[in-house]
Chain A
Amino acid sequence: MRLAPVTVTALVLLAALTVAAVSLALARRGIGSVRVPVFAAPRGSEAAGVRYAFTTAFLPWAKESASGHLATYLAGIIFHAGIFAMLARLVLTLVPAALPRVLEHFLAGLFALALGCGLGLLAKRQASAKLRAISVPDDLIANLLVDAALAGALAASVVPGVVPLFQLAGAALLLYAPLGKLRHMLFLVTSRRLWGQYYGRRGVRG
């Protein structure tokens, strides 16, 4: 793979990626292994439970928490889809590969939508007394950093000249990620797998 011309911002992004990867790996290692011997005979299938957890359990009507808060849930899904795409796009700024025009347009739309959803979720958190009661400064900072990176990705999709700004916003996000709630990007998969295993094994779901 050929690298893009070396720029200061690309180097900063590479350094941030390394720091984030190492820090998150250490955080994951810090909690130890979630694999423990299980002695109770299963009633159902753990694998089926895990399949359920990562497929139909995401459907808006699968859980009362989603169906009862449809706008928030869908905003969350779009927000996260945008974040995954933004992170991929961020890494791609390090290689000189141009994306097909149609894909760039699609991504720009996704980034714009995700940014709107992110800001909407932030506004909800600030407006809701219930949410404020359980919020910490990290909630605000994490959301703003993600929104800034999404805005950078959107701008870079439209104006290639602002890629360095996108890289800096992405670097800031990556450097912050190991400090607070953004760590959930690492633990969510484990957590959801355990959730599926629990209900699958006991024959409740899956």
Chain B
Amino acid sequence: MTAPALAVLRAGLDARTAAFLESCVRCNLCAESCHVYLTDGEPDSMPAAKVERVARLYRRYHTLSGRLLPGLTGARELDEQGLEELKDAAFGRCTMCGRCTVNCAVGLDPAAVIGLARQMVAAAGKVPPGIMANVTAALETGNSMRIPAAEVRETVAWLEDDLRSSTGDATISLPIDQPGKRVLYALNPREIKFFPLSIQAAGLLFHAARESWTLTSTDFDITNYGYFACDRASAGAISRRLLERAEELGVETLVVAECGHGYRSLRWEAPEYLQRTFPFEIVSFVELLDRYVAEGRVTLDAARNPDRVTLHDPCNLVRNGGVIEPQRRVLRRAASDFVEMTPNREHNYCCGGGGGMLAASEYTARRIAIGKLKAEQIRRTGAKVVVTPCHNCIDQLLELNKHYTLGVEIRTLAEVAADALVLPGVA
């Protein structure tokens, strides 16, 4: 089992990750930056301990002193137990949120090192089965929930009918599979299965902005569990389907629905996986909505959302994606009592559901436990509504809401904005 993992460490190690591994001096000042360590207090959860687990292998197989004097630098050979510990560190104690990276006193990227650990674990075939099931489904069917195109079309048709009757506006449409539109709006499959209201909300906002847009019934999936597995081959193959679909439809802009890792994997990682650029812009729906509001294409009335609202920052959208202020500008226009949680923006804590943790059922108890920090942050705001532009975070926050009896409503930005939307002729 260890041979494939070692092959990754020996041949697949990139210079950047090697530089990070060489730079960590085990100062451990990052410890309190990690939500896992802050909640479980276990030394194995400290970012420096997780990095050190990989660094000891690196020293054994990549440095002369590690080969000749392993005791001096703690260099260690990889055995089966070491592989299990590596899996625990990379998948069970880290959501790859990157908060330790922002705060590293030296200036290295522990999350990138964990990415290497995940690649090694993936090569050894030890990725949590729940994550791998999603990878396989996406590769086989084009989406991680195996939703057939016919079901997507049916759901969208039903949503369109419902939207028309609820607004009384028969001109509203949810176009699908239409080439030549300006925008392709790509979805998280969970929206189709469990959260159709977020599709309706986005559709209503597109309608209000008089956007030329379309959905797609095939290769619509913005999620990418290959990214969580840090398996570049499968992550690239999954991204390629949607990106090629956007090319086929000839759009100018690919708009990624509210999903942190979906945005990051498409906007930032996919061009690197596939080693190419694309003839369209890739933006988050959050950014597009912000543009609509700024351009006056969408009018929002904050009074329609009078309850106190707070905002959770998805790590992959904010800290690792750079979409920091647009959602705030929209919320200030869409809700009359918007308050920040502390800390916020790139310093916000991960909800605990990132890095594929939600799909890895063996870590469920741990995931709920590390969410305590987020639950406390939310409680301190006194908010009744928690907005987060990420379906992954929404799933985790829904569970935290129940487990920690927060009594809040968890919503997407589109849903809150749609409630505040002023449509001419509609009360």
Contact = CB atoms under 8 A, between A and B. Distances in A.
B108 interface: yes
Interface stretch (A28-36, A102-110, A147-155, A166-174): A28-36
B264 to A, nearest CB: 9
Contacts of A40: 267-272
B293 interface: no
Contacts of B71: 137
B107 A53 contact: yes
Contact of B23 (A68, A141, A180, A191): A191
A135 B271 contact: no
A32 B15 contact: yes
8 contacts: A33-B15, A63-B103, A68-B32, A130-B31, A130-B46, A136-B73, A188-B106, A204-B319
Nearest to B53: A134
Given A31-B15, A64-B33, A66-B29, A202 B65 contact: no
A66 B322 contact: no
A6 interface: no
Contact of A141 (B16, B62, B72, B105): B72
Contacts of B65: 178-180
A134 B108 CA distance: 17
B104 interface: yes
Contacts of B30: 65
Contacts of B106: 184, 188, 191-192
Contacts, number: 160
B194 to A, nearest CB: 30
Interface string A111-154: 00000000000000000111101111111010000000000000
Contacts of A38: 271-272
A30 B343 CA distance: 40
Interface stretch (A11-19, A69-77, A84-92): A69-77
Contacts of A39: 271-272, 274-277
Contacts of B62: 30
Contacts of B343: 64
B324 interface: yes
A123 B276 CA distance: 51
A151 B101 CA distance: 34
Nearest to A180: B73
B77 to A, nearest CB: 15
A138 B73 contact: yes
A106 B71 CA distance: 39
Contacts of B321: 202
B49 interface: yes
B43 A133 contact: yes
Interface in A162-196: 178-181, 183-184, 186-188, 190-192, 194-196
A23 to B, nearest CB: 9
Nearest to B281: A41
Nearest to B270: A40
B103 A64 contact: yes
A53 B270 CA distance: 26
Nearest to B30: A65
A57 interface: yes
B8 interface: no
B346 interface: yes
